[in-house]
Structure 1
Amino acid sequence: MAKQVKALVVGGGAVGTSIAYHLAKAGWSDVALLERDELTSGSTWHAAGLLPLFNMGYATSHIHDYSVKFYKTLEEETGLDAGFFVVGNLRMAQTRDRMDEYQLYASTADTVGIPYEFLSPAEIKDRWPLLRTEDLIGALFHPTDGYINPADVTMAMAKGARQRGVEIIRKRQVDSYEWAGDHWIVRGTVMGERGGNLVPTEETFEIHAEHVVTATGNHAQRTAQLLGIKMPAIPVEHQFIVTEPDPALVEYRKTQPQHPVLRDADAKWYVREERGGWILGPYEEGAPARFEHGVPDSFRADLFPLDLDRIEEEYMSMIHRIPSSETVGLKDDFNGPICYTPDGNPLVGPAPGLRNMWLAEGFSFGITAAGGTGYYLAQMMVEGEAEIDMAALDPKRYGQDWMTTEYAARKNEECYDHVYILHHPDEERPACRPLRTAPAYDRQKALGAQFGCVNGFERPNYYGPLDAPDNFDHDARSFRRGGWWDHAKAEAQAIRDTAGLIDASAFAKHRISGPGATAFLDWFTTNKLPKVGRINLTYALTSTGTTRTEYTIVREAEDSYYLVSAGGVQAYDEDYLYKAIEDKEEEFGRINREDVTTRYGVFALAGPNARDILKELIVDADPDTALSNKRFPWLSMRNIELKMCPVMAIRVAYTGELGWELHHPIEMQNYLWDQLMKAGEKHGLKPVGARAQNWLRQEKSYRAFGTELGRDATPIEAGLDRFVDMDKDFYGKAEMAAKGIRSMCVTLLIDGPEDADPWGREALFDAGTKVGRLTSGGYSVAFGKQIGMGYVKPELAKVGTKLKVKMQNRLWECEIVEDSPHDPTNARIRVDG
C-alpha cells in the first residue's frame, strides 16, 4: 500500500471513485482511494440509478449534465459496460403551476445546453399508451438521460481510475486525521470479516497525503467528528418497491423500446421499468432521519424494514397513472439510508477551518452527481477553481457556530419530503423556524412581516396584510406574480417616493485590526483602502482571479477596519478571510480578527425623506447640519447618537436612494426600531422587505454576491473596474488580468408577460442563438416593466442591444440599458439637506 500520496480519497462509492478517476485524469498521478468495506457497499448499492437532468440550480445542472455525458464514454475507455439505459425522462405535470416550474427550469437548461421538449397529454398518450393522461396538463421530456446500474458505473470508474494509476485499497477504516503542517497523516484500522460482519483487526495503517477528500456517504457524521467540524449531512430512509412483471408492459415491449423514467411530481414518485415490471420510488412525508450520530459498526450493506403504510398514497397514485399495474404483485422492496442536506445540494469543496481537506458529502442524488462532482472538484483542487461557480455547494454555506445535529436531522427530513414539491425561486421551507431571530422579529411580525431565512436568521421578505392567515406566505407563492407581489411593489415605491426601513441585521460583520491589518487588507482586496471615517466597496479574489467575496470596508481608525459582507455566506467569508490572515501574518505583522455578526444589528433607512427622519432623532449640537453633505458626505461613516442608542452610521444605500445603514448594539435594537418607526410616521416611512430591495438594487445595476458576483467571473467582467486599483498589487491580480473578458455583466429592461417577472435563471437569445443568461430578475417600479441583470458575450454588451429572454417557454423582447438606469448620475443619493 502507498504510504505517501498526493491525494487520498476516503470512500469507495460512486462519488469517491469518480473523484479519484478525475484527479488522476487531471494530472495527479499519485492518488489512492480507501474503502472501509467493499466498493459500492454504502448507499450506492441500493440506489435506483436514476440520472435526472432536471435541477433548478445552475451549478448542479452543469454537474448532472457532465455526469450523463461522461457515463456514456466509460465503456469505450474501460471495456466495462456502465449499464446506462438512455430511455429518457418524462416529468409529468398535473397543474399549471407545475408546468410553470418546468418552463422556468427549461430556460435554465438552455443556459447549460441540456436538450428537452414539452409534450401535450395527447402526445404523451400517443407515445406511451399505458399511461393515464386525461388529468395531466402536459410533461417535460429529456431524451438524453435515463437510468444506470450504480454498481456497474462505479466499477467502470474504478477501473478507469486504476488504469490512470490510482491505487484502490479495500477494508481500510479511517480512525483519525492529523494535520502535520503541510500534509495530512491518516491513520486507521484494517478491517476483516467474522460471521458476515465487518470487524476491526489488530492491523493498523498510516498514510501521508498532501490532500484528503472525504466521500464517506452515510458515514458523514463520523467523518465530521474525526475532523472536528459540523456537517449537516445525515441520512434519511428512502424506500422503493419492485413489482412482478406487468403483462401489459410485457406485451407493449414486444414492439416498443423501454419506457422512459416516469416522474409524476405532483404525486411525489418516480417509476421505471425493471425486468418487465415496475420500480416505484416515492418521496413520502414522514421518512425519518437515521444515524444522526454515526452509522453502527454492525451496519454494512443493510436495509431497514419496509413501511408500506407510509407510502400507500404514492402506491395508489402509481396505479392511477399506470392502470395496468393494479393487479401486479410486489416482487422486492428496499428501504435504505440516503444522505441529505437541508437544501438537497451536496457539500462539495474545502472543509471549514482546515487546509487541504476537501468534502464531497451529503449526496441525495449521488449517482446523478458523481461524475460531475469528480470533474469539477478535481478542477478546484488541481487548478484552484472550477470553471463554474461552486459556491452553491460549498460546505461552509451552513454556519459552523449555530448549526446543530437536531437542526440538520429535521431539515433533512423536510428536504426529503420536499423533493417533488413546487420549487418556487422564492421558496421558504418551514421546518426548524424561527430559530435565529433578531430582537425586532416580534415587532416586524406584528406589522405583517413574512420572513425568509438567511444563514438561519429570520429576515422580512415583505410585509403582508395584518389579517393574513398563518399560511398566507405559502399560499401566495407562485412562479408568476404571487399574492406578495403587490405588497413588495408598494414597499419599493415607498423607498422611491418617501422612505423605507429594511432590517439587514443578517449581514456578516468582521473587525480586522492590529499593526498588520492595513498591509494585509491592501494585499487582500482590489480597491484602494478608504481613509479613516470613509468606506469603500471592494473585492477579494480567488487564486484564479475571479470574485471570491464582496466587502464594504469601513475604516474606523488607522489600523482598524469593519468589514461587511453578504449575510448568507458568513462562515464562507470568514473561513477564506481567516485562512488568508494566517498565511500573511508573519509577513505583515499581527492581525486581530473578530466575527461581530451577532453583536450588531443593522437597519437600512433609505428614501427621499431619510434625512428628515434621522433629524428627528439625532443628538447633536446642530442637528439641522449634522446629516448634511458637508458634515456627513456620501460614502462616509460617523458614530452618532439616535436618542439613547449609539449608532455607527454609514452613508450608503443598496437601494440607490438617499440613505444610511445604522449599525447598532443588538441589545438596543427594539428601542431603535420603535424610535425610527415613530419618527418616520409623518414622513411616510414604510417597513420594507428583501424582495423590494432586490428589485431596487437592479434599477441601480448593483451587483449582488451569489448572482452577478461569483467564482466564475472577474470583477472586470462584472463591470466593476472602478473598484479595482490596477496600480497596486493584490492577490489574484495577474490571474484576473490573464482571464481577459469572456463575458460582460449588463442590465436589461424587459417587455415580458403581464403576470410574471424573471427570476434570474433565464436564458438570453439573439436571433435564436443562446448568447447569455440572467443572474437576477424582478420588477422595476421606476420603469413599470420587468428588469434583469446577467451576462452576455462581450460583443453584445452595448447599450441599445436588443435581445430576447425566455420566460414561460416564450421569447420576450429585452434591451440592454446603461448601468444604473435609474438616476445614473446618483443625484438622488448625493442630495444635500
Structure 2
Amino acid sequence: MATLPSTAKAVIIGGGIIGCSTAYHLAKLGWTDTVLLERKKLTSGTTFHAAGLVGQLRSNANITQLLGYSVDLYNKIEEETGLGTGWKMNGGLRLACNQERWTEVKRQATTAHSFGLEMELLTPQEALDLWPLMDASDLVGAAFMPTDGQANPSDITQALAKGARMAGASIFEDTKVTDLEVEDGKVRAVITERGRIECEKVIVCAGQWTRSFAKRFGVNVPLVSMEHQYMVTEPMNVPGNLPTLRDPDRLCYYKEEVGGLVMGGYEPNPIPWAADGIPEGFHYTLLDSNFDHFEQIMEQALGRVPGLQTAGIKTLTNGPESFTPDGNFIIGEAPELRNFFVGAGFNAFGIASGGGAGMALAEWASKGEPPFDLWSADIRRFGRPHFDTDWVRTRTVEAYGKHYTMAWPYEEHDSGRPCRKSPLYDTLKAQGACFGEKLGWERPNWFADTSLGETPKDVYSFGRQNWFAANAREHRAAREAAILIDQTSFAKFTLKGSDALSALNWICAGNVDKPVGSLTYTQLLNDHGGIECDLTIGRVAHDEFYIVTGTGFATHDFDWISRNIPRGMNCQLFDVTSSYAVLSLMGPEARNILQQVTRDDVSNDAFKFGTIRTIGIAGCPVQALRITYVGELGWELHLPVEYAQTVYAALMQAGADHGLINAGYRTIESLRLEKGYRAWGSDIGPDHTPFEAGLGWAVKLNRNLDFKGRAAVEAQRSGGVKKMLAGFIVDPDTVLLGRETIYRNGKRVGWLSSGGFGHTVGKSIGLGYIRDPGGVTEEFILSGSYELEVATERVRTQVHMTPLYDPEMLRVKA
C-alpha cells in the first residue's frame, strides 16, 4: 500500500462522484499535491447505487449552468481517460397530464430559453413517438431537452478518479479519517488511521456521513439520510437510445438499462433512515427492499408503462441518500471553520451535479471564491433551526415528498412550524395573518379580512392567487394612508470597537464615515465588484454601528463581514437578531401616527431621511430608522422584544383614525417593484456590480478612500458594462414570476430576475438584466423594442429605467 504524504495542499475526504470530481478539477488547476482519502472503496458510499439520470434545468441560472458543465465534462471524460462511463446524451422527456402541470412545463421551457438551453414542447403524439413504451392517453403535452442524458455512476466516478491521477492528484482507498487538527479557527491537518497530513484546505465530500463528521468540529451541514428505491427490470426490448423520462404527475422517473427499464420515484410519505446514526462499517451496502412501500409508485408506473405488468423484476434497489431541507445541495466554505469546505447533500441528483459541483468546489478552495454566484446552494443559507437534526429531518421529509409535486409560485413549507416567532405572532394570527417562513421565522405574508369571507391560507395557482385582493388592499393603504409590518425577523448585528469605522469603510462600498445618528445604505463588494451583501448601517456611537440585513442572509452576511475585517483591527461583531423586534410604519400618514405616540419631534426638519434616533414610545426606548423599502414616508422601529406588544398596541390605537392597517411581506414585494428597489438574491448578488444594477450612486468613488472592490467598479465606471438592470411592464392579465425571457429587437438578451404586480400602476412589473457583449448603456436600452416570453408566449412590454412610482413627484408612470 502506498505511503501517505505528510503534507498536501488540499485533502478531500470522500471518494464518491463529488470527491473524485473535486480532485480532478483541483489537479487540473495545478494543485497536483491534492490528496483524496476514501475510508473504504471509491463509490462505496451512495454513488454506487445512484440511478444516474442527468437533467440540467433548474430554476436558478447558475445551478443550471453548473449542471450544463457536468454534461460538457461527461461528453469528453471517456476520451480523455480511456475509461467507459456509460454516458449517453439521449435527451430527457418531461410529461404533463393536466393543465396546471402543462402551465408549469411551459414556464420551465421559457426558463430553459432564458438560460440558453434548448427545450422543445411536444404534442402527446410527438412524445409517444419518442417514448413508445408509454400509454399517452392522459397526456396534455410534454417537454423534451435533447442535451439531457444518463450515465453509469460508478464508471463515471472511476473515470474522474483516473483523470485526477493523470493530472497529478493522489487517491488513497481504505484510509479512514479519524480527526482534524484545528488551530486558531483554521484547519491545520487531517489525522487518519495511517498517519497525519498537514494541509491548507480540507474538502469534505462524505455524502450522508458529512453532517456527523462536520459536527465534531462545530460545522453545521443540514442533511439527513432518506431511503430511496428504484426497480430494474429484466430485458424487455427497450431501445438503447430511449430518452430518460420524468412523469411528475405520477411521481416516477425512467431510464433504459441493458434493454430493460430503471423505474423509481418520490413517494409523498418517504422513510428517513439512520435517525440514530449510520451503522459502523456501512459501505457497498443496500437496505432491504420495501415492496409494500414501493407499491404506491408501482401502481402509478403501471398506468404509464403497461409493459411493466409482464416484465420480470431483476432488482428493487433500496439505498439511503442524503437529502436537505430545501432540496438544494450544500457547497462552500463553512462559516464556522476556516479552510473547511463542504460538498454534500445532493438530493438524488449528485450524478447530474457531479462534474459542475466538483469544478465549483475546486475553484472555491483554490481561489477563495466560487466561479459564479451559487447562493441557492451555499452552506451559508442555513441558520439556527438547522442545528437541530430533528427539525432538519422533519423539513427534509416534506421536501423529499415535494420532489415531483407542482412547484407553485410563492409556495411555503408547512413542516417544523412554528419555530421562531415574533412576540406579536399570536396577536397578528388573531387578526387574520397568513404566515410564511424564512430561516425558521414566522412572518406575516398577508392579512385576511374575515368580514369579506377571506381565509388566511394560501391557495396556490399559476394565475392570480387567492391573496391578490388582500395584497391590493394593503398596497393601497401604504400609498394612501399607512401600514404596519412586523419585520422582527430582520438579521441585526452590532460592530463595536475603536477600529469599527475603519473596518466598515474598507468593507463597504458606501461611505459610513458620517456623524453619529446617520444611516448608510450600502453594498459590500467582492474583488470583482460583485455585490456580496446589501444592507443598512446606522452609526449609533463613535465606535459602534448597527447593521440590518435580510432575514435569510443572517449567516451569510455575518460571515462575509467577519472574515473581511482587516487583520489586527480592534472591533467585534455580534449577532443581536433575537434581542430586537422591528415594526415598520410606512405610508403618507406615518408621521402623523408616530407623532401621536412620542414626545420626540419627528418632523422632517428634526428627523431627516437617512438618520437613526432613539425616541420614546409608551415607556420604550425605540431606535427609529427613517428609511424605506416601499417608496413611502416611514420608519423602521427597532425595540427590545419585551416592549413589542405595548408599542404595537400604541401605534394601532393612534393609527385608527389615519387608516393604519396591518400588512405583510407580499405587499413589501409589490411596493418595492413599483419603486424599482433591488432584492439581493434575485436582482443583485455576487455576479452583479453596482453600476450594472443602477446602484453606482451608492459607491464612494468620489472620495479618496480605498475599499474592497474599488478597482473593479472604477474600471466599470470608465469602461462601461455589458449588462444593466431595467424595468418592464406588461398588461395586468399577464402574470410575471421571474425568469421570463427578455427579447430586444427580436434577440434574446436576458431574463427577468423578479416579477410581480403593481397595484398603483395597475400593471405586471418585472426587473431584469439586458445583456450585450458590445456594451450596454441606458440609451441602448431605451432605444430597443422589447418582448417578454411568458410560458412560451411572446408579449409586448415597455421598458423603463426610472421608478414607476415617485411619491414626492406625485406621479405614476404606466
TM-score, normalised relative to structure 2: 0.94
Measure the CA separation in 1 of the matches of 2:451 and 2:57. 38
CA contact (8 A) 2:732 2:762 kept: no
Measure the CA separation in 1 of the matches of 2:419 and 2:103. 32
Of 2, 9, 34 in structure 2, the residue corresponding to residue 6 of structure 1 is 9
Task: Kindly provide the amino acid, as one letter, of the partner of residue 610 in structure 1.
Answer: A
Match of 2:763 in 1: 785
3-state SS, counterpart of residue 420 of structure 1: coil
Of 706, 710, 718 in structure 2, the residue corresponding to residue 729 of structure 1 is 706
Task: Kindly provide the amino acid, as one letter, of the partner of residue 354 in structure 2.
Answer: A
Measure the CA separation in 2 of the matches of 1:425 and 1:153. 36
Of 584, 596, 606 in structure 2, the residue corresponding to residue 616 of structure 1 is 596
3-state SS, counterpart of residue 35 of structure 2: strand
Match of 1:773 in 2: 751
3-state SS, counterpart of residue 657 of structure 1: coil
Measure the CA separation in 1 of the matches of 2:190 and 2:664. 51
Measure the CA separation in 2 of the matches of 1:380 and 1:653. 36
Match of 2:614 in 1: 639
Measure the CA separation in 1 of the matches of 2:291 and 2:19. 32
> Structure 2 vs 1, CA of residues 687 and 407 (structure 1 numbering), >3 Å: closer, same or farther?
same
Deviates more, 1:766-775 or 1:416-425: 766-775
- 1:234 equivalent to 2:224? Answer yes
> Structure 2 vs 1, CA of residues 371 and 468 (structure 1 numbering), >3 Å: closer, same or farther?
farther
3-state SS, counterpart of residue 515 of structure 2: coil
Match of 1:351 in 2: 334
3-state SS, counterpart of residue 345 of structure 1: coil
Match of 2:195 in 1: 205
- 1:759 equivalent to 2:721? Answer no
Match of 2:246 in 1: 263
CA contact (8 A) 1:803 1:813 kept: yes
Match of 1:598 in 2: 578
Measure the CA separation in 1 of the matches of 2:453 and 2:737. 26
Measure the CA separation in 2 of the matches of 1:792 and 1:27. 36
Deviates more, 1:707-716 or 1:142-151: 707-716
CA contact (8 A) 1:242 1:331 kept: yes
Measure the CA separation in 1 of the matches of 2:181 and 2:276. 21
Match of 2:635 in 1: 660
- 1:532 equivalent to 2:516? Answer yes
Match of 1:410 in 2: 394
Q: Which aligned pairs between 1:392-791 and structure 2 lie closer than 5 A?
A: 392-400=376-384, 403-466=387-450, 473-474=457-458, 476-529=459-512, 530-581=514-565, 583-584=566-567, 586=568, 588=569, 590-620=570-600, 626-726=601-701, 727=703, 728-738=705-715, 741-752=720-731, 754=733, 756-791=734-769
Deviates more, 1:127-136 or 1:363-372: 127-136
Measure the CA separation in 2 of the matches of 1:177 and 1:382. 20
> Structure 2 vs 1, CA of residues 470 and 331 (structure 1 numbering), >3 Å: closer, same or farther?
farther
3-state SS, counterpart of residue 642 of structure 2: helix
Q: Which aligned pairs between 1:96-115 and structure 2 lie closer than 5 A?
A: 96-115=99-118
- 1:287 equivalent to 2:258? Answer no
CA contact (8 A) 2:631 2:807 kept: no
3-state SS, counterpart of residue 227 of structure 1: coil
> Structure 2 vs 1, CA of residues 725 and 293 (structure 1 numbering), >3 Å: closer, same or farther?
farther
3-state SS, counterpart of residue 45 of structure 1: helix
Measure the CA separation in 2 of the matches of 1:101 and 1:471. 26
Measure the CA separation in 2 of the matches of 1:350 and 1:328. 47
Of 212, 215, 228 in structure 2, the residue corresponding to residue 222 of structure 1 is 212
Measure the CA separation in 1 of the matches of 2:338 and 2:529. 20
CA contact (8 A) 2:385 2:440 kept: no
> Structure 2 vs 1, CA of residues 267 and 632 (structure 1 numbering), >3 Å: closer, same or farther?
same
CA contact (8 A) 1:15 1:215 kept: yes
> Structure 2 vs 1, CA of residues 752 and 828 (structure 1 numbering), >3 Å: closer, same or farther?
closer
> Structure 2 vs 1, CA of residues 604 and 799 (structure 1 numbering), >3 Å: closer, same or farther?
farther
CA contact (8 A) 2:106 2:791 kept: yes
The alpha carbon displacement at 1:26 in A equals 2.2
Deviates more, 1:373-382 or 1:460-469: 460-469
CA contact (8 A) 2:186 2:337 kept: no
**Unaligned segments of structure 2, at least 5 residues:** none
> Structure 2 vs 1, CA of residues 546 and 23 (structure 1 numbering), >3 Å: closer, same or farther?
same
| Identity rate, percent | 37
Of 86, 92, 95 in structure 2, the residue corresponding to residue 92 of structure 1 is 95
Task: Kindly provide the amino acid, as one letter, of the partner of residue 785 in structure 1.
Answer: K
The alpha carbon displacement at 1:264 in A equals 1.0
- 1:795 equivalent to 2:776? Answer yes
1:340-359: CA deviations, max 9, x gaps? 11011111111122111111
Deviates more, 1:42-51 or 1:766-775: 766-775
CA contact (8 A) 1:698 1:747 kept: no
> Structure 2 vs 1, CA of residues 816 and 14 (structure 1 numbering), >3 Å: closer, same or farther?
same
3-state SS, counterpart of residue 457 of structure 2: helix
CA contact (8 A) 2:746 2:786 kept: no
1:598-656: CA deviations, max 9, x gaps? 10011111111111211221134xxxxx1211111111111111223321111111100
The alpha carbon displacement at 1:676 in A equals 1.9
Measure the CA separation in 2 of the matches of 1:5 and 1:298. 27
Considering only aligned residues, what root-mean-square deviation do their CA atoms show, in Å? 2.1
Measure the CA separation in 2 of the matches of 1:697 and 1:810. 27
Task: Kindly provide the amino acid, as one letter, of the partner of residue 145 in structure 1.
Answer: D
> Structure 2 vs 1, CA of residues 399 and 826 (structure 1 numbering), >3 Å: closer, same or farther?
farther
- 1:65 equivalent to 2:73? Answer no
3-state SS, counterpart of residue 85 of structure 1: coil
CA contact (8 A) 2:535 2:549 kept: yes
Measure the CA separation in 1 of the matches of 2:798 and 2:545. 40
Measure the CA separation in 2 of the matches of 1:729 and 1:796. 26
Measure the CA separation in 1 of the matches of 2:429 and 2:558. 30
- 1:328 equivalent to 2:304? Answer no
Match of 1:161 in 2: 164
Deviates more, 1:374-383 or 1:42-51: 374-383
3-state SS, counterpart of residue 792 of structure 1: strand
1:571-592: CA deviations, max 9, x gaps? 11111222223x43x1x3x213
3-state SS, counterpart of residue 777 of structure 1: strand
Task: Kindly provide the amino acid, as one letter, of the partner of residue 782 in structure 1.
Answer: T
Measure the CA separation in 1 of the matches of 2:722 and 2:292. 53
The alpha carbon displacement at 1:469 in A equals 10
> Structure 2 vs 1, CA of residues 292 and 731 (structure 1 numbering), >3 Å: closer, same or farther?
farther
CA contact (8 A) 1:237 1:289 kept: yes
CA contact (8 A) 2:519 2:536 kept: yes
**Unaligned segments of structure 1, at least 5 residues:** 191-203, 621-625
Measure the CA separation in 2 of the matches of 1:698 and 1:38. 53
Measure the CA separation in 2 of the matches of 1:699 and 1:469. 29
CA contact (8 A) 1:703 1:709 kept: yes
- 1:171 equivalent to 2:154? Answer no
The alpha carbon displacement at 1:366 in A equals 0.6
CA contact (8 A) 1:220 1:294 kept: no
Match of 1:381 in 2: 365
Match of 1:199 in 2: none
> Structure 2 vs 1, CA of residues 294 and 42 (structure 1 numbering), >3 Å: closer, same or farther?
same
Task: Kindly provide the amino acid, as one letter, of the partner of residue 146 in structure 2.
Answer: P
